[in-house]
Amino acid sequence: MKSLKENIDVSKLPKHVAIIMDGNGRWAKKKGLDRIFGHQNALEAVRQTTEAAAELGVNFLTLYTFSTENWDRPQMEVEALMDLLVRSIEKETPTLNKNNIRLAAIGDIKRLPKSVTNRLQLCIDETKNNTGLTLVLALSYSSRYEILNATKEIGKQLLEGKLKIEDIDESLFSSHLTTKNIPDPDLLIRTSGEIRISNFLLWQIAYTELYFTKVHWPDYRKEDLFEAILAYQNRERRFGKTGEQIVKK
């Protein structure tokens, strides 16, 4: 009997998989432990998911790591998350290089503590020449912030006479987003059973396939990603067209 991975058609892989990593706190609470314990135990899920995506040949993997709304959490939790983030990235950088994985980040990065941005940038620079999977961390990210910021940038160019109204189209707008060098996701996964998008890549997921699983993020493993990709491959993506039109192509 074939494994989940063996059943995947590598010629029909999603080029970009995005994941809302949800359930760390609830996972820890069920075990009678502190929320930080849940975040710490989520690292294995990140490692396995990244390895699985790289093994298959996925081009981009974006992980919703820290939202702008997360700044409103208790200060102790935020500080612990920031420390865990940079230590984990630094620890995993040699493995990223070994597996030819490039690290990137999107979001309101300047809002992160200076020590965090400096250490993050070092890791990004160390992996910038890798040509395999691009692992994108969405940090201090908010889709509404991103869309508003793009609107302000375009408005400023209009006022300065650098743009005309008729120049504004989807392509130009996309070029002002933090994801400007990243293709739109083909597949968006959310863990822990919650069925919502939570201000994540709202512009970019217009035609993305959505997949929800009840697995809490700390328990997420390679097989869970393979299962999601198989579900994706069994769907018909029409992009507003009819099924008959897609077949004719």
The catalytic residue positions are: 22, 70
Is 190 in contact with 22 (CB distance < 8 Å)?
A: yes
Structural tokens at position 111: 């809002």
Strand partners, 138: 64, 106
91: left (phi over 0), alpha (psi -120 to 50) or beta: alpha
CA–CA–CA angle 28, 32, 35 (5° rounding): 35
Structural tokens at position 156: 């400023």
Distant-in-sequence, close-in-space partners of 137: CB < 8 Å, separation ≥ 6: 62, 63, 65, 89, 103, 104, 105, 106
The structure tokens 């200060």 sit at 75
Residues 174-213: b if buried by 16+ CB within 10 A, e if exposed? eebbbbeebebbbbbbbbbeeeebebbbeebbeebbebbb
SS3 20: strand
